[in-house]
Structure 1
Amino acid sequence: MEEHLGTRQILSYSLLPCVLFLLSTKFLLHKRKKRNLPPSPFALPIIGHLHLLKLPIHQTLDSLSKKYGPILSLQLGSYLAVVVSSPSIVEECFTTNDIVLANRPRFLGGRHLLNYNNSDMGSADYGDHWRNLRRISVLEILSTSRLTSLFSIRRDEVNILTRRLYSVSSHGYAKVELRSMFFDLTSNVIMKMVAGKRYYGEDVKDTVEARMFREILKEFIEYISMIQVGDMIPILQWVDFTQDFKKLYRLNNRMDMFLQGLINEHRHDRERNTMINTFLTLQEQQPEYYTDEIIKGHILVMMIGGTETVATAMEWARACPGDGLGNRMMTLTLGSLIQFFEWERVGDDKIDMTEKTGISMCKVDPLELLCKARPSLNVLLS
């Protein structure tokens, strides 16, 4: 009896992949017949076109666009994606049809890590809640008057960067690596705006808290930079082969505890001009809406948007609300570096501009240049 039962179980498990293959093939063919989709490559059952996505992703999509046209469709597991490479079509998508294309897929990271159940401005569905969060960002957090009042933060951090470069280049050209310096600069500016604290650099006050923050943020950015196959093929979430989901939950708990600690700390210190205190004031007025989860989600958007992507400006109607901060940071930083330092290439070879795939596009090899302080800076800092 037991041998017969075991044989039936083995037979059932053997037939399961075949059944899934037939069902997925029928499903994909049915979807393609029913929809009027743009052209696309041949799709495999279940995974669709996932096997075509080679790194760097943007170059892969560029090659596919050259073959199939300026608009094509890709079946990424259970998700349908439309790739648009024509500037005129992109403009139409983000102006005329921006509301139709406003929503984002609800990925696992959005539910449990990045977006507190997709409730922040970066992932919430388009509607009253999203519009309110954007209004708060534009008027309360990133308005012109608000950014002007926080000029001292940007000035002080750029001065710290200037002194850091001066310390190694005051006596002649020195080789410097700029990516890490720019990351420290933008991270400190954002976190001083958010919580009134610096977490990067040699003069950080609370080294234990700073080290914890740096570890969590590094792991956080590494995680959301990866493509999670379980998001594209939900059935794989049932069996966590790579232990990614367990790592996700642990990281979520660490990040949540850290952010909650910042909020609790600001409840006993309401004098600081920070983003957290702005939200706590709104929470006193509407406690049922501005919950701690909403505040923590907004902090995360600021952290990632400010430290990794540096809030670039967009030309479309629904422009990034952080473009004012991004422009101010770029002009002040570049102006200072050009005014106070002389710059040369390291060697005669051209700078390697090979791209690295991540949240934002950056070079595979960090930018290294030769830097020498100008005499005017020697007078100011000596």
Structure 2
Amino acid sequence: MAFQVLLVCLISTIVIVFILRTKQNKTLLPPSPMALPIIGHLHLLSPLPHQDFHKLSIRYGPIMHLFLGSVPCLVASTAEAAKEFLKTHESSFSNRPVQTVAVEALTYGFQDFFFAPYGPYWKFMKKLCMSELLGSRMLEQLLPVRQEENKRFIQRVLEKGVAGEAVDFGGELMTLSNNIVSRMAVSRTSTENEKDVEEMRKLVADAAELVGKFNISDSIWFLKRFDLQGFNMRLNETRDRFDAVLDRIIKRREEERRNNNQTGGTRPFKDMLDVLLDIFEDESSEMKLNKDKIKAFILDIFVAGTDTSSLTIEWAMAELMNHPHVLEKARLEIDAVVGKSRIVEESDIKNLPYLQAIVKETFRLHPAGPLLFRESSRSVVVCGYNIPANTRLFINVWAIGRDPNQWKNPLEFRPERFIDEEGNGHGELDVRGQSFHLLPFGTGRRRCPGISLALQILHVNLAAIIQCFQLKVNGGNDKVDMEEKSGLTLPRAHPLICVPIPRLNPFPAM
């Protein structure tokens, strides 16, 4: 009986506080739908929150205030609103929200780069990324690695095409991206230490799913100590598996470095792990790294660099198969610039403006990160609204790409909108964060440091698929399904499976 009375009092208190807080702040905060006690607006969200936010914004405006359980949130759904938060008030929104058990577990207690708070460590790692890990010198040095993996990818698809076999392009593209990132980060491919690389590929998929999956214990304060959905067991298992793989890789590398120091040997090139271990061993380094920080950073690189690139190519292929006139126009451009006697290369991309427009249009409709997320580090007034500290911010990139006030016929896949001949002012829009109409990599301080690498992988491999193969939808369907699936990124609900028919005869030597 006493427990029941206590429970009623607790719920009553929560309801009263919630009502009073709503009444007190309704003239200061952005518009908001009717909330329910305890769960707030969670009942309005599905496994595809970017779509739900978009529908709500049509009714409640470009800036909304929501409570996801006990977590106060803002949603910005237009380019103008995004600019206010991420440029005009960027200094107040430079942190990422980290209050989830998945992020804490998979980043070794927030010791990674992606979720690290804005401060000295984050600034050091950002500078390291831009100058060493993902800088132009590293990308140029590793050009032969990308070329080799690109050729292996085309060869795998070609062999299946000659045999008349259907190809799961999502899986093949994931293997391609994973191999490139593996070689750049830790010099491992699927042909070397196959067990570790295959395990890493599974870990990347599991990590992306866990970070993107809704966990009710993260949203309702009195449930934080309870593992109602069984998250902790999966998280601990994934973290332990990842830790074991990285420990093996780091141990082998340290032994190799010791042997090289003794014998005067050298590695063919320094990968990302070498750069991080150099800092780890340097007592005079500006910032001291430990093994957990190294492992957390490598996980960031794998998750951010593998899933996003492969998904974007897969979405682009699906759109091209549903729009054969666009595919044919792209193919004619590639044939005119590259010819049919060799495979397209990275150096060709600058001469393929229609291909670049296809990638931009894919970013617009299918951004790999449909929601950018930040958190206010202090109270701030934005667009006349009083935003408290520690308010979570979602920038709905998916909705911005579908804004009819910015894009003519926004639901149509039309790459021509990014060509100057359209005369709509979108020809010069870039994807590096300068235009708030198109933010596939974010903007400002928290912009993705791997933009150049991602664009190289995306353009050259999409171009190679267009150049080398005619694609026949498996099962004889006329259209490719475009349904989305839930996740931290934007995966397809159904795999893209088709038969690749070689179109170059003779096929260029690789």
> Normalization by structure 2: what TM-score?
0.67
CA distance in 1, matches of 2:254, 2:111: 22
Aligned to 2:219: 232
Identity across the alignment (%): 27
Aligned to 1:304: 303
Structure 1 residue 332 displacement after superposition: 1.6
Aligned to 1:329: 457
Aligned to 2:276: 279
Give the stretch that moved more between structures: 210-219 or 84-93. Answer: 210-219
CA distance in 1, matches of 2:186, 2:297: 12
Does the alignment pair 1:269 with 2:261? no
The answer to whether the Cα contact below 8 Å between 2:217 and 2:228 also exists between their aligned partners in 1 is: no
Question: Per-residue CA shift, 1:146-197, capped at 9, x if unaligned?
Answer: 10110111111111111111112237x6532211111111011111111100
CA distance in 1, matches of 2:249, 2:17: 48
SS class of match (1:32): helix
Opposite residue 25 of structure 1, the aligned amino acid is V
Give the stretch that moved more between structures: 266-275 or 319-328. Answer: 266-275
Structure 1 residue 377 displacement after superposition: 5.3
Opposite residue 132 of structure 1, the aligned amino acid is F
Aligned to 2:373: none
Structure 1 residue 363 displacement after superposition: 1.9
CA distance in 1, matches of 2:504, 2:470: 10
Match 1:150 to one of 142, 145, 158: 142
Root mean square deviation, CA, Å:
2.3
Query: Which runs of structure 2 are paired with 1:182-193 in the superposition (5 Å)?
Result: 182-193=173-184
Match 1:367 to one of 472, 496, 503: 496
SS class of match (1:44): coil
Does the alignment pair 1:75 with 2:67? yes
Aligned to 1:289: 288
CA 376–67 in structure 1, closer or farther in 2 if over 3 Å, else same: same
Aligned to 2:124: 132
The answer to whether the Cα contact below 8 Å between 1:174 and 1:372 also exists between their aligned partners in 2 is: no
Query: Which runs of structure 2 are paired with 1:1-382 in the superposition (5 Å)?
Result: 11-35=1-25, 36-109=28-101, 112-170=104-162, 175-199=166-190, 204-270=191-257, 271=267, 273-286=270-283, 289-310=288-309, 313-315=431-433, 316-318=443-445, 319-346=447-474, 347=476, 349-376=478-505, 378-380=507-509
Question: Per-residue CA shift, 1:321-379, capped at 9, x if unaligned?
Answer: 11000111012212222222233445452221111121211321122334211334535
SS class of match (1:103): coil
> Structure 2 regions of 5+ residues with no counterpart?
258-266, 313-367, 369-430, 434-442
Structure 1 residue 117 displacement after superposition: 1.5
CA distance in 2, matches of 1:207, 1:121: 27
SS class of match (1:268): helix
CA distance in 2, matches of 1:350, 1:111: 38
Structure 1 residue 113 displacement after superposition: 2.0
Opposite residue 68 of structure 1, the aligned amino acid is Y
Give the stretch that moved more between structures: 247-256 or 277-286. Answer: 247-256
The answer to whether the Cα contact below 8 Å between 2:215 and 2:229 also exists between their aligned partners in 1 is: no
Structure 1 residue 33 displacement after superposition: 4.0
The answer to whether the Cα contact below 8 Å between 1:170 and 1:378 also exists between their aligned partners in 2 is: no
CA distance in 2, matches of 1:320, 1:17: 46
Structure 1 residue 211 displacement after superposition: 4.2
SS class of match (2:228): coil
CA 218–85 in structure 1, closer or farther in 2 if over 3 Å, else same: closer
The answer to whether the Cα contact below 8 Å between 1:109 and 1:115 also exists between their aligned partners in 2 is: no
CA distance in 1, matches of 2:204, 2:489: 15
The answer to whether the Cα contact below 8 Å between 2:468 and 2:503 also exists between their aligned partners in 1 is: yes
CA distance in 1, matches of 2:150, 2:92: 41
> Of the two structures, which has the highest relative contact order with CA contacts closer than 8 Å and spacing of 6 or more?
2
CA distance in 1, matches of 2:231, 2:53: 26
Opposite residue 54 of structure 1, the aligned amino acid is S
Question: Per-residue CA shift, 1:205-233, capped at 9, x if unaligned?
Answer: 33433443344334323322211111112
